[in-house]
Amino acid sequence: MSASAVEAIGVERRFGSVQALAGVTLEVAQGEFFGLLGPNGAGKTTLISILAGLVRADRGSVKVLGHDVATDYRAARRSLGVVPQELVFDPFFSVRETLRIQSGYFGLRHNDEWIDELLHHLDLTAKANANMRSLSGGMKRRVLVGQALVHKPPVIVLDEPTAGVDVELRQSLWSFIRKLNRDGHTIILTTHYLEEAEALCGRIAMMKAGRIVALDSTQNLLSRFAGVTVRVSAARIPVTWAAKLLRREGNVHYLGLDSYADLEQLLAAFRVEHIAIDELALAETDLEQVFLRIMSGTETTDDAPPLVTVPEAP
Amino acid sequence: MIEGPGTGWLTLLQKELLRFWKVSFQTIAAPVLTALLYLLIFSHVLESRVAVFDGRVAYTAFLVPGLVMMSVLQNAFANASSSLIQSKITGNLIFVLLPPLSPLDMYAAYVLGAMVRGLVVGAGVFIVTLLLVPGSLTIAHPLFALAFAVLGSAILGTLGVIAGISADKFDELAAFQNFLIMPLTFLSGVFYSIHSLPPFWQALSHFNPFFYMIDGFRYGFFGLSDVAPFYSLALVAAAAIILAATALLMLARGWKLRH
Protein backbone atom coordinates (compact mmCIF):
# COMPACT_ATOMS: atom_id res chain seq x y z
CA MET A 1 0.00 0.00 0.00
CA SER A 2 1.33 3.42 -0.84
CA ALA A 3 2.08 5.88 1.95
CA SER A 4 -0.48 8.33 3.25
CA ALA A 5 -0.17 11.88 1.96
CA VAL A 6 0.10 13.04 5.55
CA GLU A 7 0.38 11.01 8.71
CA ALA A 8 0.54 12.70 12.10
CA ILE A 9 0.81 10.61 15.24
CA GLY A 10 0.43 12.01 18.74
CA VAL A 11 1.76 15.45 17.84
CA GLU A 12 2.25 17.76 20.79
CA ARG A 13 3.59 21.26 20.88
CA ARG A 14 3.73 23.82 23.66
CA PHE A 15 4.59 27.52 23.37
CA GLY A 16 5.42 28.70 26.87
CA SER A 17 2.29 28.11 28.90
CA VAL A 18 0.08 27.51 25.86
CA GLN A 19 -0.47 23.95 24.75
CA ALA A 20 -0.89 24.66 21.04
CA LEU A 21 -1.23 20.99 20.11
CA ALA A 22 -2.26 18.42 22.67
CA GLY A 23 -1.78 15.11 20.89
CA VAL A 24 -3.02 15.30 17.31
CA THR A 25 -3.34 12.11 15.31
CA LEU A 26 -4.45 12.45 11.74
CA GLU A 27 -4.12 10.66 8.45
CA VAL A 28 -4.82 12.11 5.03
CA ALA A 29 -4.88 9.72 2.08
CA GLN A 30 -3.34 10.55 -1.27
CA GLY A 31 -5.73 12.36 -3.56
CA GLU A 32 -7.98 13.69 -0.80
CA PHE A 33 -9.36 17.21 -0.59
CA PHE A 34 -9.11 17.63 3.16
CA GLY A 35 -10.35 20.47 5.32
CA LEU A 36 -8.85 21.56 8.61
CA LEU A 37 -11.24 23.82 10.49
CA GLY A 38 -11.29 25.45 13.86
CA PRO A 39 -11.43 28.83 15.56
CA ASN A 40 -8.36 31.03 15.87
CA GLY A 41 -5.89 29.51 18.28
CA ALA A 42 -7.19 25.97 17.75
CA GLY A 43 -3.77 24.84 16.53
CA LYS A 44 -4.36 24.59 12.77
CA THR A 45 -1.44 26.79 11.78
CA THR A 46 0.85 25.14 14.34
CA LEU A 47 0.01 21.74 12.85
CA ILE A 48 0.68 23.02 9.34
CA SER A 49 3.91 24.67 10.48
CA ILE A 50 5.13 21.36 11.91
CA LEU A 51 4.16 19.65 8.66
CA ALA A 52 6.20 22.27 6.75
CA GLY A 53 9.22 22.05 9.05
CA LEU A 54 8.80 25.62 10.32
CA VAL A 55 8.04 24.49 13.86
CA ARG A 56 9.29 21.38 15.60
CA ALA A 57 6.99 19.07 17.50
CA ASP A 58 7.74 18.44 21.16
CA ARG A 59 6.40 14.94 20.78
CA GLY A 60 4.98 12.72 18.09
CA SER A 61 5.84 12.31 14.44
CA VAL A 62 4.66 13.77 11.17
CA LYS A 63 5.26 12.23 7.77
CA VAL A 64 4.60 13.53 4.27
CA LEU A 65 4.26 10.68 1.77
CA GLY A 66 6.09 8.49 4.25
CA HIS A 67 8.98 10.94 4.75
CA ASP A 68 9.49 12.11 8.31
CA VAL A 69 9.50 15.93 8.39
CA ALA A 70 12.41 15.99 10.87
CA THR A 71 14.70 13.14 9.86
CA ASP A 72 13.97 13.01 6.12
CA TYR A 73 13.18 16.69 5.70
CA ARG A 74 14.50 17.08 2.16
CA ALA A 75 12.13 14.48 0.69
CA ALA A 76 9.28 15.67 2.92
CA ARG A 77 9.65 19.30 1.86
CA ARG A 78 10.02 18.38 -1.79
CA SER A 79 6.65 16.61 -1.55
CA LEU A 80 4.95 19.58 0.02
CA GLY A 81 3.74 22.96 -1.24
CA VAL A 82 2.58 25.42 1.37
CA VAL A 83 0.63 28.63 0.88
CA PRO A 84 1.35 30.55 4.08
CA GLN A 85 -1.31 32.56 5.84
CA GLU A 86 0.69 35.78 6.09
CA LEU A 87 0.84 37.93 2.97
CA VAL A 88 4.61 37.95 2.52
CA PHE A 89 6.74 38.86 -0.48
CA ASP A 90 10.28 39.87 -1.39
CA PRO A 91 10.19 43.50 -2.58
CA PHE A 92 13.40 43.13 -4.59
CA PHE A 93 11.88 40.94 -7.29
CA SER A 94 9.26 40.74 -10.01
CA VAL A 95 6.56 38.06 -10.13
CA ARG A 96 8.48 35.92 -12.61
CA GLU A 97 11.76 36.31 -10.72
CA THR A 98 9.99 35.33 -7.51
CA LEU A 99 8.66 32.14 -9.11
CA ARG A 100 11.98 31.32 -10.79
CA ILE A 101 13.89 31.76 -7.55
CA GLN A 102 11.41 29.62 -5.62
CA SER A 103 11.72 26.98 -8.31
CA GLY A 104 15.51 27.06 -7.97
CA TYR A 105 15.31 26.57 -4.21
CA PHE A 106 13.60 23.26 -4.93
CA GLY A 107 16.42 22.32 -7.28
CA LEU A 108 14.56 23.09 -10.50
CA ARG A 109 15.95 25.18 -13.29
CA HIS A 110 14.39 25.90 -16.70
CA ASN A 111 10.93 25.62 -15.24
CA ASP A 112 9.44 28.44 -17.31
CA GLU A 113 6.87 26.29 -19.08
CA TRP A 114 5.19 25.41 -15.80
CA ILE A 115 5.71 28.94 -14.47
CA ASP A 116 3.88 30.31 -17.53
CA GLU A 117 1.05 27.87 -16.94
CA LEU A 118 0.85 28.90 -13.29
CA LEU A 119 0.81 32.58 -14.23
CA HIS A 120 -2.00 31.86 -16.65
CA HIS A 121 -4.13 29.91 -14.16
CA LEU A 122 -3.56 32.50 -11.46
CA ASP A 123 -4.43 35.31 -13.86
CA LEU A 124 -1.01 36.92 -13.40
CA THR A 125 0.39 36.73 -16.94
CA ALA A 126 0.01 40.48 -17.45
CA LYS A 127 1.85 41.11 -14.18
CA ALA A 128 4.72 38.67 -14.80
CA ASN A 129 7.34 41.40 -14.98
CA ALA A 130 5.82 43.75 -12.41
CA ASN A 131 7.62 44.22 -9.12
CA MET A 132 5.99 42.47 -6.17
CA ARG A 133 5.57 45.79 -4.38
CA SER A 134 3.24 47.09 -7.08
CA LEU A 135 0.73 44.24 -6.75
CA SER A 136 -2.58 44.38 -4.92
CA GLY A 137 -3.15 42.16 -1.89
CA GLY A 138 -5.16 39.65 -3.91
CA MET A 139 -2.42 39.44 -6.54
CA LYS A 140 0.26 38.94 -3.90
CA ARG A 141 -1.85 36.13 -2.45
CA ARG A 142 -1.99 34.48 -5.87
CA VAL A 143 1.78 34.75 -6.27
CA LEU A 144 2.06 32.92 -2.93
CA VAL A 145 -0.14 30.18 -4.37
CA GLY A 146 2.14 30.08 -7.43
CA GLN A 147 5.24 29.82 -5.24
CA ALA A 148 3.72 26.88 -3.39
CA LEU A 149 2.98 25.06 -6.66
CA VAL A 150 6.16 25.87 -8.54
CA HIS A 151 7.74 22.46 -7.86
CA LYS A 152 4.51 20.54 -8.59
CA PRO A 153 4.22 19.16 -5.08
CA PRO A 154 2.04 16.05 -4.66
CA VAL A 155 0.69 17.46 -1.38
CA ILE A 156 -0.55 21.04 -1.29
CA VAL A 157 -1.38 22.87 1.92
CA LEU A 158 -3.39 26.07 1.73
CA ASP A 159 -3.59 28.04 4.98
CA GLU A 160 -6.44 30.52 4.57
CA PRO A 161 -5.70 31.02 0.87
CA THR A 162 -8.70 33.13 -0.05
CA ALA A 163 -8.45 35.79 2.65
CA GLY A 164 -8.43 39.13 0.87
CA VAL A 165 -9.15 37.62 -2.55
CA ASP A 166 -12.32 38.92 -4.18
CA VAL A 167 -15.21 36.62 -5.02
CA GLU A 168 -14.58 36.28 -8.74
CA LEU A 169 -10.92 35.41 -8.32
CA ARG A 170 -11.76 33.09 -5.47
CA GLN A 171 -13.90 31.09 -7.87
CA SER A 172 -11.13 30.85 -10.47
CA LEU A 173 -8.62 29.96 -7.77
CA TRP A 174 -10.86 27.14 -6.54
CA SER A 175 -11.45 25.76 -10.00
CA PHE A 176 -7.68 25.64 -10.45
CA ILE A 177 -7.16 23.91 -7.09
CA ARG A 178 -9.97 21.46 -7.96
CA LYS A 179 -8.22 20.69 -11.24
CA LEU A 180 -4.98 20.00 -9.34
CA ASN A 181 -6.92 17.71 -7.02
CA ARG A 182 -8.44 15.86 -10.00
CA ASP A 183 -4.93 15.49 -11.40
CA GLY A 184 -4.01 13.58 -8.26
CA HIS A 185 -2.65 16.26 -5.92
CA THR A 186 -3.68 15.96 -2.30
CA ILE A 187 -5.12 19.22 -1.00
CA ILE A 188 -5.21 20.24 2.65
CA LEU A 189 -7.13 23.41 3.29
CA THR A 190 -7.76 25.61 6.26
CA THR A 191 -10.33 28.31 5.78
CA HIS A 192 -12.68 30.53 7.72
CA TYR A 193 -15.21 30.31 4.90
CA LEU A 194 -17.13 27.24 5.98
CA GLU A 195 -19.25 27.18 2.86
CA GLU A 196 -15.99 26.82 0.90
CA ALA A 197 -14.94 23.86 2.99
CA GLU A 198 -18.39 22.31 2.63
CA ALA A 199 -18.31 22.69 -1.13
CA LEU A 200 -14.73 21.55 -1.66
CA CYS A 201 -13.60 19.13 1.02
CA GLY A 202 -14.35 15.43 0.98
CA ARG A 203 -13.30 15.03 4.58
CA ILE A 204 -12.97 17.46 7.42
CA ALA A 205 -11.14 17.62 10.73
CA MET A 206 -12.30 20.16 13.29
CA MET A 207 -9.82 21.35 15.85
CA LYS A 208 -10.37 22.99 19.19
CA ALA A 209 -7.77 23.89 21.81
CA GLY A 210 -5.05 21.81 20.20
CA ARG A 211 -7.14 18.69 19.72
CA ILE A 212 -9.12 17.15 16.92
CA VAL A 213 -12.73 17.15 18.08
CA ALA A 214 -14.31 15.84 14.90
CA LEU A 215 -12.93 13.96 11.94
CA ASP A 216 -15.23 12.57 9.32
CA SER A 217 -16.38 12.89 5.75
CA THR A 218 -18.20 16.12 5.08
CA GLN A 219 -21.36 14.13 4.29
CA ASN A 220 -21.24 12.22 7.56
CA LEU A 221 -20.62 15.36 9.56
CA LEU A 222 -23.63 17.01 7.99
CA SER A 223 -25.92 14.04 8.51
CA ARG A 224 -24.59 13.28 11.98
CA PHE A 225 -25.63 16.70 13.06
CA ALA A 226 -28.75 16.80 10.97
CA GLY A 227 -31.17 19.07 12.64
CA VAL A 228 -32.52 22.53 12.66
CA THR A 229 -30.92 25.68 13.94
CA VAL A 230 -33.23 28.34 15.23
CA ARG A 231 -32.23 31.94 15.46
CA VAL A 232 -34.33 33.77 18.03
CA SER A 233 -34.20 37.43 18.95
CA ALA A 234 -35.43 37.70 22.53
CA ALA A 235 -34.34 39.11 25.87
CA ARG A 236 -33.57 35.59 27.05
CA ILE A 237 -34.41 31.99 26.31
CA PRO A 238 -36.44 29.60 28.46
CA VAL A 239 -34.28 28.15 31.23
CA THR A 240 -35.25 24.62 30.25
CA TRP A 241 -33.68 25.15 26.82
CA ALA A 242 -30.35 26.54 28.01
CA ALA A 243 -28.59 23.30 27.10
CA LYS A 244 -29.58 23.76 23.46
CA LEU A 245 -27.98 27.19 23.16
CA LEU A 246 -25.21 27.14 20.58
CA ARG A 247 -24.21 30.74 20.53
CA ARG A 248 -25.40 34.11 21.69
CA GLU A 249 -24.79 37.53 20.17
CA GLY A 250 -26.51 40.14 22.32
CA ASN A 251 -30.22 39.44 22.02
CA VAL A 252 -29.78 36.93 19.24
CA HIS A 253 -29.72 33.31 20.39
CA TYR A 254 -28.83 30.31 18.24
CA LEU A 255 -30.49 27.09 19.37
CA GLY A 256 -29.82 23.64 17.98
CA LEU A 257 -32.91 21.44 17.67
CA ASP A 258 -32.93 17.76 16.81
CA SER A 259 -35.87 18.11 14.46
CA TYR A 260 -38.72 20.37 13.45
CA ALA A 261 -40.90 18.54 15.96
CA ASP A 262 -39.01 20.25 18.80
CA LEU A 263 -39.98 23.64 17.49
CA GLU A 264 -43.48 23.51 18.90
CA GLN A 265 -42.18 22.70 22.39
CA LEU A 266 -39.65 25.48 22.14
CA LEU A 267 -42.34 28.02 21.31
CA ALA A 268 -44.51 26.65 24.11
CA ALA A 269 -41.65 27.18 26.54
CA PHE A 270 -41.35 30.79 25.44
CA ARG A 271 -45.09 31.23 26.06
CA VAL A 272 -44.96 29.61 29.48
CA GLU A 273 -42.16 31.88 30.63
CA HIS A 274 -43.73 34.95 29.03
CA ILE A 275 -40.73 35.78 26.87
CA ALA A 276 -41.48 37.94 23.87
CA ILE A 277 -39.94 36.79 20.57
CA ASP A 278 -38.91 39.72 18.40
CA GLU A 279 -37.75 37.67 15.47
CA LEU A 280 -37.33 34.00 14.57
CA ALA A 281 -35.62 32.23 11.69
CA LEU A 282 -34.87 28.61 10.83
CA ALA A 283 -31.86 27.18 9.05
CA GLU A 284 -31.10 23.70 7.74
CA THR A 285 -27.88 22.17 8.94
CA ASP A 286 -24.89 23.36 7.03
CA LEU A 287 -21.25 23.08 7.97
CA GLU A 288 -21.44 26.30 9.92
CA GLN A 289 -24.13 24.85 12.18
CA VAL A 290 -22.11 21.67 12.63
CA PHE A 291 -19.07 23.77 13.41
CA LEU A 292 -20.96 25.83 15.96
CA ARG A 293 -22.40 22.78 17.65
CA ILE A 294 -19.03 21.10 17.92
CA MET A 295 -17.23 24.21 19.08
CA SER A 296 -19.90 25.09 21.65
CA GLY A 297 -19.40 21.63 23.10
CA THR A 298 -23.06 20.58 22.94
CA GLU A 299 -21.95 17.72 20.76
CA THR A 300 -18.65 16.13 21.50
CA THR A 301 -17.14 13.10 20.00
CA ASP A 302 -15.72 11.88 23.29
CA ASP A 303 -18.18 9.03 23.41
CA ALA A 304 -18.02 8.45 19.67
CA PRO A 305 -14.35 8.56 18.72
CA PRO A 306 -13.57 10.31 15.43
CA LEU A 307 -13.28 8.15 12.39
CA VAL A 308 -9.66 7.78 11.50
CA THR A 309 -10.15 5.22 8.79
CA VAL A 310 -8.65 6.19 5.51
CA PRO A 311 -11.31 6.53 2.84
CA GLU A 312 -10.80 5.29 -0.66
CA ALA A 313 -8.97 7.75 -2.82
CA PRO A 314 -11.27 9.35 -5.37
CA MET B 1 12.14 21.06 -15.62
CA ILE B 2 15.72 20.15 -14.95
CA GLU B 3 16.73 19.07 -11.51
CA GLY B 4 20.36 19.61 -10.74
CA PRO B 5 22.48 18.97 -7.69
CA GLY B 6 23.44 22.18 -5.94
CA THR B 7 20.75 24.16 -7.73
CA GLY B 8 19.07 25.00 -4.43
CA TRP B 9 21.93 26.76 -2.71
CA LEU B 10 23.21 28.26 -5.97
CA THR B 11 19.80 29.84 -6.47
CA LEU B 12 19.92 31.26 -2.95
CA LEU B 13 23.41 32.62 -3.69
CA GLN B 14 22.13 34.11 -6.93
CA LYS B 15 19.25 35.71 -5.05
CA GLU B 16 21.65 37.16 -2.48
CA LEU B 17 23.80 38.64 -5.27
CA LEU B 18 20.79 40.04 -7.15
CA ARG B 19 19.50 41.57 -3.93
CA PHE B 20 22.48 43.87 -3.49
CA TRP B 21 23.15 44.27 -7.18
CA LYS B 22 19.67 45.72 -7.74
CA VAL B 23 20.46 48.48 -5.26
CA SER B 24 24.16 48.74 -6.12
CA PHE B 25 24.19 52.52 -5.79
CA GLN B 26 23.50 52.07 -2.12
CA THR B 27 25.40 48.82 -1.56
CA ILE B 28 28.54 49.40 -3.65
CA ALA B 29 28.89 53.03 -4.73
CA ALA B 30 28.06 54.51 -1.33
CA PRO B 31 30.64 52.54 0.70
CA VAL B 32 33.30 53.24 -1.94
CA LEU B 33 32.59 56.96 -1.58
CA THR B 34 32.74 56.74 2.22
CA ALA B 35 36.16 55.06 2.06
CA LEU B 36 37.38 57.72 -0.35
CA LEU B 37 36.30 60.50 2.00
CA TYR B 38 38.27 58.85 4.81
CA LEU B 39 41.27 58.62 2.51
CA LEU B 40 41.10 62.23 1.34
CA ILE B 41 40.61 63.70 4.80
CA PHE B 42 42.98 61.54 6.80
CA SER B 43 45.76 61.58 4.24
CA HIS B 44 45.48 65.34 3.86
CA VAL B 45 45.59 65.96 7.60
CA LEU B 46 48.02 63.28 8.69
CA GLU B 47 50.38 62.60 5.79
CA SER B 48 53.16 64.83 7.13
CA ARG B 49 52.52 64.12 10.82
CA VAL B 50 52.27 60.38 11.20
CA ALA B 51 55.17 58.04 10.66
CA VAL B 52 54.36 54.39 10.14
CA PHE B 53 56.74 51.44 10.08
CA ASP B 54 59.51 53.85 11.17
CA GLY B 55 58.89 56.09 8.20
CA ARG B 56 59.47 53.33 5.64
CA VAL B 57 55.90 53.67 4.29
CA ALA B 58 54.09 56.90 3.42
CA TYR B 59 50.96 57.42 5.53
CA THR B 60 48.62 57.62 2.53
CA ALA B 61 49.98 54.37 1.16
CA PHE B 62 49.63 52.82 4.62
CA LEU B 63 46.05 53.98 4.85
CA VAL B 64 44.87 52.51 1.52
CA PRO B 65 45.02 48.76 2.45
CA GLY B 66 43.42 49.57 5.79
CA LEU B 67 40.50 51.28 4.13
CA VAL B 68 40.16 48.54 1.52
CA MET B 69 40.03 45.88 4.23
CA MET B 70 37.67 47.91 6.38
CA SER B 71 35.29 48.19 3.41
CA VAL B 72 35.54 44.45 2.75
CA LEU B 73 34.74 43.62 6.37
CA GLN B 74 31.92 46.10 6.93
CA ASN B 75 30.15 45.27 3.68
CA ALA B 76 30.42 41.53 4.12
CA PHE B 77 28.82 41.92 7.54
CA ALA B 78 26.16 44.31 6.28
CA ASN B 79 25.11 42.06 3.41
CA ALA B 80 24.45 38.86 5.33
CA SER B 81 22.99 40.54 8.40
CA SER B 82 20.66 42.94 6.59
CA SER B 83 19.43 40.28 4.18
CA LEU B 84 18.52 37.96 7.04
CA ILE B 85 16.95 40.56 9.30
CA GLN B 86 14.89 42.01 6.44
CA SER B 87 13.65 38.56 5.48
CA LYS B 88 12.86 37.76 9.09
CA ILE B 89 10.98 40.99 9.73
CA THR B 90 9.03 41.01 6.46
CA GLY B 91 8.38 37.30 6.88
CA ASN B 92 9.69 36.28 3.47
CA LEU B 93 12.35 34.10 5.06
CA ILE B 94 9.64 31.45 4.86
CA PHE B 95 10.46 31.11 1.15
CA VAL B 96 13.92 29.87 2.16
CA LEU B 97 12.69 27.77 5.10
CA LEU B 98 10.06 25.79 3.16
CA PRO B 99 12.33 24.35 0.43
CA PRO B 100 14.66 21.39 1.02
CA LEU B 101 17.72 23.56 1.71
CA SER B 102 20.14 22.13 4.26
CA PRO B 103 21.85 24.24 6.97
CA LEU B 104 25.05 24.05 4.92
CA ASP B 105 23.20 25.21 1.78
CA MET B 106 21.91 28.25 3.64
CA TYR B 107 25.24 29.00 5.27
CA ALA B 108 27.18 28.73 2.01
CA ALA B 109 24.78 30.93 0.08
CA TYR B 110 24.51 33.72 2.65
CA VAL B 111 28.25 33.81 3.41
CA LEU B 112 29.37 33.61 -0.21
CA GLY B 113 26.92 36.37 -1.12
CA ALA B 114 28.38 38.48 1.69
CA MET B 115 31.94 37.72 0.59
CA VAL B 116 31.23 38.78 -2.98
CA ARG B 117 29.69 42.06 -1.80
CA GLY B 118 32.64 42.73 0.53
CA LEU B 119 35.24 41.89 -2.07
CA VAL B 120 33.51 43.89 -4.82
CA VAL B 121 33.36 46.98 -2.60
CA GLY B 122 36.98 46.41 -1.49
CA ALA B 123 38.11 46.12 -5.11
CA GLY B 124 36.14 49.27 -5.91
CA VAL B 125 37.88 51.19 -3.13
CA PHE B 126 41.25 49.85 -4.25
CA ILE B 127 40.77 50.77 -7.92
CA VAL B 128 39.53 54.27 -7.16
CA THR B 129 42.39 54.98 -4.75
CA LEU B 130 44.87 53.80 -7.38
CA LEU B 131 43.41 56.38 -9.73
CA LEU B 132 43.42 59.10 -7.08
CA VAL B 133 46.90 58.54 -5.64
CA PRO B 134 48.73 56.78 -8.47
CA GLY B 135 52.03 55.13 -7.79
CA SER B 136 51.55 55.15 -4.03
CA LEU B 137 51.18 51.44 -3.69
CA THR B 138 53.09 48.26 -4.33
CA ILE B 139 51.81 44.76 -3.76
CA ALA B 140 54.61 42.68 -2.27
CA HIS B 141 52.68 39.46 -1.61
CA PRO B 142 49.40 39.44 -3.56
CA LEU B 143 48.46 35.93 -2.39
CA PHE B 144 48.72 37.01 1.23
CA ALA B 145 46.55 40.03 0.55
CA LEU B 146 44.00 37.84 -1.22
CA ALA B 147 43.99 35.20 1.51
CA PHE B 148 43.31 37.78 4.22
CA ALA B 149 40.63 39.50 2.15
CA VAL B 150 38.87 36.19 1.50
CA LEU B 151 39.13 34.97 5.09
CA GLY B 152 38.19 38.37 6.51
CA SER B 153 35.10 38.60 4.33
CA ALA B 154 34.15 35.03 5.28
CA ILE B 155 34.51 35.85 8.98
CA LEU B 156 32.41 39.00 8.75
CA GLY B 157 29.87 37.30 6.49
CA THR B 158 29.56 34.58 9.11
CA LEU B 159 29.23 37.16 11.88
CA GLY B 160 26.54 38.76 9.74
CA VAL B 161 24.67 35.45 9.56
CA ILE B 162 24.98 35.00 13.33
CA ALA B 163 23.83 38.58 14.01
CA GLY B 164 21.00 38.35 11.47
CA ILE B 165 19.70 35.15 13.05
CA SER B 166 20.09 36.43 16.63
CA ALA B 167 18.52 39.85 16.17
CA ASP B 168 14.75 40.15 16.28
CA LYS B 169 14.61 43.84 15.45
CA PHE B 170 16.56 46.31 13.36
CA ASP B 171 17.82 48.16 16.45
CA GLU B 172 19.23 44.93 17.89
CA LEU B 173 21.18 44.48 14.71
CA ALA B 174 22.27 48.13 14.79
CA ALA B 175 23.54 47.58 18.35
CA PHE B 176 25.58 44.60 17.15
CA GLN B 177 27.00 46.77 14.39
CA ASN B 178 27.63 49.94 16.42
CA PHE B 179 28.89 48.39 19.65
CA LEU B 180 30.85 45.45 18.31
CA ILE B 181 31.73 45.60 14.63
CA MET B 182 32.49 49.33 14.40
CA PRO B 183 34.72 49.62 17.50
CA LEU B 184 36.61 46.46 16.61
CA THR B 185 37.19 47.78 13.08
CA PHE B 186 38.23 51.27 14.11
CA LEU B 187 40.51 49.98 16.87
CA SER B 188 42.12 47.39 14.63
CA GLY B 189 44.76 49.67 13.13
CA VAL B 190 42.98 50.79 9.98
CA PHE B 191 44.17 54.34 10.51
CA TYR B 192 47.37 53.77 12.46
CA SER B 193 50.07 51.24 13.24
CA ILE B 194 49.57 49.86 16.73
CA HIS B 195 53.25 50.54 17.40
CA SER B 196 52.30 54.19 17.71
CA LEU B 197 50.00 53.33 20.63
CA PRO B 198 50.93 53.38 24.35
CA PRO B 199 51.96 49.89 25.58
CA PHE B 200 48.62 49.19 27.31
CA TRP B 201 46.58 49.84 24.16
CA GLN B 202 49.12 48.02 22.07
CA ALA B 203 48.72 44.92 24.24
CA LEU B 204 44.91 45.25 24.16
CA SER B 205 44.95 45.46 20.36
CA HIS B 206 46.36 41.94 20.27
CA PHE B 207 43.03 40.70 21.65
CA ASN B 208 41.16 42.28 18.75
CA PRO B 209 40.72 39.66 16.03
CA PHE B 210 40.19 42.38 13.43
CA PHE B 211 43.71 43.64 14.08
CA TYR B 212 45.18 40.43 12.61
CA MET B 213 43.03 40.69 9.48
CA ILE B 214 44.11 44.26 8.78
CA ASP B 215 47.74 43.66 9.72
CA GLY B 216 48.00 40.53 7.60
CA PHE B 217 46.28 42.19 4.66
CA ARG B 218 48.66 45.12 4.90
CA TYR B 219 51.62 42.73 4.93
CA GLY B 220 50.47 41.63 1.48
CA PHE B 221 51.13 45.16 0.24
CA PHE B 222 54.30 46.26 2.03
CA GLY B 223 55.91 43.08 3.25
CA LEU B 224 55.84 44.79 6.67
CA SER B 225 53.58 43.98 9.57
CA ASP B 226 53.17 44.44 13.31
CA VAL B 227 53.04 40.68 13.93
CA ALA B 228 54.30 37.74 11.87
CA PRO B 229 51.94 37.21 8.90
CA PHE B 230 51.74 33.42 9.24
CA TYR B 231 50.73 33.84 12.86
CA SER B 232 47.97 36.22 11.78
CA LEU B 233 46.90 33.86 9.01
CA ALA B 234 46.63 30.92 11.40
CA LEU B 235 44.65 32.98 13.90
CA VAL B 236 42.29 34.35 11.27
CA ALA B 237 41.75 30.90 9.73
CA ALA B 238 41.02 29.45 13.17
CA ALA B 239 38.52 32.24 13.87
CA ALA B 240 36.84 31.57 10.51
CA ILE B 241 36.45 27.88 11.31
CA ILE B 242 35.11 28.43 14.82
CA LEU B 243 32.59 31.03 13.66
CA ALA B 244 31.49 28.88 10.72
CA ALA B 245 30.88 25.97 13.09
CA THR B 246 28.86 28.25 15.37
CA ALA B 247 26.72 29.58 12.52
CA LEU B 248 26.15 26.08 11.13
CA LEU B 249 25.10 24.83 14.53
CA MET B 250 22.62 27.70 14.85
CA LEU B 251 21.18 26.92 11.43
CA ALA B 252 21.02 23.18 12.11
CA ARG B 253 19.24 23.76 15.41
CA GLY B 254 16.90 26.18 13.65
CA TRP B 255 17.51 28.62 16.50
CA LYS B 256 15.16 31.62 16.12
CA LEU B 257 14.31 30.43 12.61
CA ARG B 258 12.37 27.21 13.16
CA HIS B 259 10.62 27.48 16.52
* Residue B1 contacts A where some CB pair is shorter than 8 Å: yes
Digits of tens for pLDDT over chain B (259 positions)? 456 678 999 999 999 999 999 999 999 999 999 999 998 888 888 877 777 877 788 888 889 999 999 999 999 999 999 999 999 999 999 999 999 999 999 999 999 999 999 999 999 999 999 888 777 678 899 999 999 999 999 999 999 999 999 999 999 999 999 999 999 998 898 888 888 888 888 888 899 999 999 999 999 999 999 899 999 999 999 999 999 999 999 999 999 898 7
- Measured CA to CA in angstroms, residue A59 lies from A5, A276, A313, B98 at distances of 20, 53, 29, 21
pLDDT band at A307 (very low <50, low <70, confident <90, very high): very low
- The reply to whether A269 and A185 lie within a common domain is no
Question: How many angstroms from the chain centroid is the CA of residue B72?
Answer: 4
State whether residue B167 is helix, strand or coil.
Answer: coil
Sign of CA dihedral B35, B38, B41, B45: negative
Looking at A206, A222, A238, the residue that finishes a domain is: A222
The answer to whether the CB of B151 falls within 8 A of the CB of B237 is yes
Are A102 and B95 in contact (CB < 8 Å)?
A: yes
In a domain, B6, yes or no: no
- The reply to whether A273 and A147 lie within a common domain is no
In a domain, B19, yes or no: no
Report the number of distinct structural domains present in chain B: 1
- The reply to whether A113 and A242 lie within a common domain is no
Q: Return the number of other C-beta atoms located less than 10 Å from residue B127's C-beta.
A: 12
- The reply to whether A136 and A259 lie within a common domain is no
- Kindly report the pTM of this predicted structure: 0.86
In a domain, A48, yes or no: yes
Q: Return the number of other C-beta atoms located less than 10 Å from residue B129's C-beta.
A: 25
Which of B8, B92, B102 comes nearest A90 by C-beta?
B92
Are B96 and A105 in contact (CB < 8 Å)?
A: yes
Q: How far apart are CA B92 and CA A171, in angstroms?
A: 27
Contacts of B15 in chain A (CB under 8 A): 101
Question: How many angstroms from the chain centroid is the CA of residue B244?
Answer: 14
Q: Who contacts B23 (Cβ-Cβ below 8 Å, separation ≥6)?
A: A92
In a domain, A310, yes or no: no
Round to the nearest angstrom and report the end-to-end CA distance of chain A. Answer: 16
What pLDDT score was predicted for residue B4? 63
Range of the domain at A198: 6-222
* Residue B15 contacts A where some CB pair is shorter than 8 Å: yes
Are B1 and A110 in contact (CB < 8 Å)?
A: yes
Pick the closest to residue A158 from A201, A189, A198 (CA basis). Answer: A189
* Residue B87 contacts A where some CB pair is shorter than 8 Å: yes
Report the number of distinct structural domains present in chain A: 2
In a domain, A264, yes or no: yes
Q: What is the pLDDT of residues A132-186, one digit of tens each?
A: 999 988 889 999 999 999 999 999 999 988 776 778 778 888 888 999 999 999 9
- The reply to whether A253 and A110 lie within a common domain is no
B229-253 vs B209-222: helix axis angle to the nearest 10? 130
How many Cα atoms within 13 Å fall on the side-chain side of residue A22? 12
- The reply to whether A254 and A152 lie within a common domain is no
Contacts of B102 in chain A (CB under 8 A): 74
In a domain, A299, yes or no: no
In a domain, A172, yes or no: yes
Range of the domain at B145: 25-43+56-253
Are B2 and A110 in contact (CB < 8 Å)?
A: yes
